[in-house]
Amino acid sequence: MKVEVKQVELVDVGTDLLAVGLVEGGELPPEIAGAAGADSARSGFKKLSLLRPDGFPTVLVVGLGESEELDLETLRIAAAVAAKEAERLEAKSIAWAYPRGIDSVLAADALVTGTVLAAYRFDRFKSGERDDSPRLESLVLPGPAEFAKTVEWARITAEAQNRARDLQLTPANFATPTFLAERAEAITAASEALTVEVFGRAELEAKGMGGLIAVGQGSAEEPKLIVLRYSGGGSGPTLAYVGKGVTFDTGGISLKPGAGMQEMKMDMSGGAAVLEATAAIAELGLPLELIALVPTTENMPSGTAIKPGDIITQYNGKTVEVNNTDAEGRLILADALAYAVELGAERIVDIATLTGAVEIALGSTYAGLVSNDDPLAAEVIEAGEVSGELVWRLPLHPEYKELMKGTVADLSNLGKKRKAGTITAASFLEEFVGETAWAHLDIAGSAWDIGREYVGNEANGFGARLLVEFARHSAS
Ligand code: BES
Ligand code: ZN
Ligand code: ZN
């Protein structure tokens, strides 16, 4: 979508539609209120009303609720509601008049985000009846030239989130580990500051990445470890992002039930967020050093698949009893986390659709956060509050670690007695980060089906904007 800041009067904005946000008891911009045809402005507004003031584009008044409650999330939602209405009205372009009483640069950011995300479509696999319903093509924000940078950043970041949604929705017969590696290569080709390495089966075996090898051994698709490095300079700590890239999770020999299994094409949502956030970070040229790792594989049952009880050796030498082959995410993340530490990461954030338990605990409203470092956890929470991708911290405790001890190996990949599934999974991961500051995001409940107006109930690219925001914070 084309997004631009224009220094124009509202009357000259030149779009098909002009959205005006109005808080309870608020007033329309005086020039609109004063125009003939805008009389109805004097009575109360419902959530959406249309006005046709003389000389202006059609005005869409969007109710924003009480002014004391006006925040960035309200604006993202309002922008999405307006974008949908614009498409219904077959408008190709929309402008937004800023509501008063909120920082207008931040408001511009939220309006761009809500509009770009709401206008998202995925119709790559529709043939004859390709969705040709009207599309919103451009967004204009009347405002000072200083807004241009913020608006550009918001567009780049929201588009990264939309590309993460593309990867989530692309089915597993297309989005294989090789496909994700090719996406990483394409991202790298677009920036001087990026380099990429992709390790296949032979290299993974040579390196001793027993977790990724074990999960991938039942599949005809080759498992890969994608290692992207972004060198943007700056004086901050080296950051690592690690994203789970299971392109299809059948559960393996511990087979999942059939109903709903198709959703497991999205078990690479964490990897998608990491890849596309890295693309956005490079596009924005943020001044930091970042290592982005995506261990990627299918998890399939077959004659060569790992079996419950098999013992593997992870990259850091720890041995693991694989007591449930469906707890595969932690096995591939373990290798990637240990490798991130070896590469010199000083702060690690991993993101994964790791446990069904997180959806029981937090629903889709918050992603789960587990961390061994209070300042890092606080920054991740803060980034999520800014981006609207909310995260809630769950505790670590030695007793949870105890639940992950193996009987004949160091560790088990399955917690005892199904207690605290999200935390025990994180406690397992903690065994692979040593003393490095680490934060783990479990997005199994939030990567789709969250129902916010700007992303709906399908794949939502959760984490992409949070990771960019965190990197921005880390770089400054
Ligand atoms: N990919 C799943 C987790 C998941 C569940 C993601 C629902 C999205 C929606 C993960 O690999 C898994 O199967 N985890 C198991 C772990 C258990 C066997 C310890 C789970 O949560 O049931
Ligand atoms: Zn699984
Ligand atoms: Zn999984």
Distance of alpha carbon 142 from alpha carbon 126, whole angstroms: 36
Ligand 1: distance of its center to the CA of 141 in Å? Answer: 43
From 280, 468, 459, 307, select the one nearest 388 (Cα to Cα): 468
Distance of alpha carbon 395 from alpha carbon 400, whole angstroms: 9
Looking up tokens 């939502």 gives: 460
* pLDDT per residue of the chain (476 residues) written in tens, 0 to 9: 999 999 999 999 999 999 999 998 888 899 999 998 876 544 455 678 999 999 999 999 999 999 899 999 999 999 999 999 999 999 999 999 977 667 888 999 999 999 999 999 999 999 876 667 789 999 999 989 999 999 999 999 999 999 999 999 999 999 999 999 999 999 999 999 999 999 999 999 999 999 999 999 999 999 999 999 999 999 999 999 999 999 999 999 999 999 999 999 999 999 999 999 999 999 999 999 999 999 999 999 999 999 999 999 999 999 999 999 999 999 999 999 999 999 999 999 999 999 999 999 999 999 999 999 999 999 999 999 999 999 999 999 999 999 999 999 999 999 999 999 999 999 999 999 999 999 999 999 999 999 999 999 999 999 999 999 999 999 87
The domain spans of the chain are: 2-145, 157-474
Q: What is the residue type of 384?
A: G
Residue of 269, 296, 354 best suited for mutating to test ligand 1, as the one with most atoms within 8 Å of CB = 354
Distance of alpha carbon 285 from alpha carbon 311, whole angstroms: 43
Determine which residue's CA is closest to atom 3 belonging to ligand 1: 355
Give the number of the ligand closest to the Cα of residue 443: 1
353 lines ligand 1 (CB under 6 A): yes
From 130, 145, 148, 57, select the one nearest 95 (Cα to Cα): 57
State pTM to two decimals.
0.97
Question: Which atom of ligand 1 is closest in space to residue 355's alpha carbon?
Answer: 21
Bridge partners of residue 405, in order along the sequence: 411
Domain 2-145 carries which CATH code?
Answer: 3.40.220.10
Q: Are 462 and 446 in contact (CB under 8 A)?
A: yes
Ligand 1: distance of its center to the CA of 327 in Å? Answer: 6
Residue by residue, DSSP assigns 281-299 as HHHHT-SSEEEEEEEEEEE
Class of domain 157-474: alpha beta
From 352, 350, 325, select the one nearest 338 (Cα to Cα): 350
